Structure 1
């Protein structure tokens, strides 16, 4: 199986399917490269080279006890692009993975990157601060984290339906819900805690405003994990010249429940026909 060593020696697993223009997928918290199967299969068959990797602490990558801040995660992404010497890349990210892409651009530049797609982003800043008064109170995040740590399998199973917004009619089989929960459990307890804190508490407002590559932002208006009014819409106001799509009734698991529509939007954006 293919692995590469990151900047600090952490061994990271990746998949590499197809040939053509490269598209690199960056998963959100708890999920690994396997979560992108509904994008990588059709897109690799449509003439794109699709690459995804397991974040440190996730899936088949090493599970170190450190390095879950955006600097290290962005450096991991940079190490992958360097290892495969990818250029003209479309970066497609979900949830807090969007922050990894934004930090990558501010830390490593955009020489290798043609465009980015940010799906259900937790950026630009979710937590409440003196200059972000509409954010969610830190104490609330801490309480949720403490509850989740007591019984992570039960917490994930309990919150899975909200993740997919099934109460609004989004169709997903019980087997696929269970599969997604299992993917979320396939990361270390340290990683599960730290990456959420990184995604919630890191201020990416200034870096988002400095993005200079074409950007597509996709967010569901029923997202319980990254509320659209706090995340997607605000990010769309910051990133210069972006294309913004808001899906009615879509939750955070938009890459599964709305895979066909999302894939077409991404493909159109790559082809330069999307608006």
Structure 2
């Protein structure tokens, strides 16, 4: 799979691009789907994983349902560099992450597409949309999975959010014992919750986190826990009628549905919210088949 160069600092950023083909004959292909007129699906992963988390869905959607599927490794995660060769460009914020997405989609000239973004990826997709004419002209909708939008950190108005002190403790624990913290977190409400998950599958998730750059892990926590997208969402509601699908777990401790997806649904009344029962933060591990079904229904609706 290829890399491209960030226009911000020259960092080499990795992406997956699954383009439907008829040679060899696809497995379990759905005859009612065509690869000529369907929008591309653009996947953005959650912290602290990589585009690999989306592989099971991307294979289904590309091979059987004939969608072109693109997934970017956020800078510092997977096979993407955290920073490039320009030492004066060190202020990497949410807008830089969004610019990386704009760079990729404009370079590939993907045409019509839909964002499918998990957790902090929702913020990246929203800022990419607001900052690029090309994205606004071609984006057909958003699917936000266990989103951190609009703001996952506790406030006096929304005390159910995770406190700033807790996010700081997460950083301290990662500095002290990154592998141990990730292993325990992924087995609890920040990961798969009470669901039974095979050990080898959990090991694969842990390896994704192990591959991430330490600085990227820490600064990403600071980014998604410190950026309030409420006004940006309100602007989106005023300026577009794009459909939005929210998929969220009812037991997500990191981005509780009460302070994230429910609030997004209030700011964007046209959005549709589906809450998965007995579901925590890493839905792709425990509820992949449900996500696949809901994506297919969403794409049919648009």
TM-score (norm 1): 0.93
**How far, CA to CA, are the matches of 2:244 and 2:116 in structure 1?**
10
Of structures 1 and 2, the larger Rg is shown by: 2
Q: Quick one: structure 1 residues 80 and 172, their matched pair in 2 at CA, closer, same or farther if it must change by over 3 Å? A: same
| Matched residue, 2:67 | 48
Stretches of 4+ moved more than 3 A in 1? Answer: 65-68, 128-136, 163-166
Tell whether 2:130 aligns with 1:96. no
1:179 Cα offset (Å): 0.7
Q: How far does residue 156 in structure 1 lie from its aligned partner after superposition?
A: 0.4
Larger displacement relative to structure 2 (245-254 or 156-165)? 156-165
Q: Which residue of 1 aligns with 2:111?
A: 87
1:253 counterpart residue number: 282
Corresponding position: 1:226 with 2:251: no
Whole-angstrom CA distance in 2 between matches of 1:156 and 1:52? 23
Deviation at 1:233, TM superposition (A): 1.2
- Greater shift in the superposed pair: 227-236 or 39-48: 227-236
Alignment partner for residue 101 of structure 2, among 63, 77, 88?
Answer: 77
- Asked whether the 8 Å contact 2:192–2:285 carries over to 1, the reply is no
1:94-151, Cα deviation, whole Å (9 max, x unpaired): 0111110111122225112011100000110122346655543322211221122111
Residue in structure 1 matched with residue 273 of structure 2 by the alignment: 244
The one of 25, 30, 33 equivalent to 2:51 is 33
Number of aligned pairs?
271
Q: Distance in 2 between matches of 1:93 and 1:67?
A: 23
The gaps in structure 2 that reach 5 residues or longer are: 21-34, 85-89
Alpha carbons of 1:204 and 1:33: their partners in 2 closer, same or farther (altered >3 Å)? same
> What SS does the corresponding residue of 2:180 show, helix, strand or coil?
helix
Structure 1: 5+ residue stretches without partners: none
CA RMSD of aligned residues (A): 1.7
Alignment partner of 1:154 out of 180, 201, 210: 180
Aligned to 1:10: 11
Q: Is the 8 A contact 2:78 2:211 kept in 1?
A: yes
| 2:141 corresponds to 1:112 | no
CA contact (8 A) 2:251 2:279 kept: yes
How many Å separate the matches in 1 of 2:92 and 2:158?
24
Q: Helix, strand or coil: the match of 1:151? A: helix
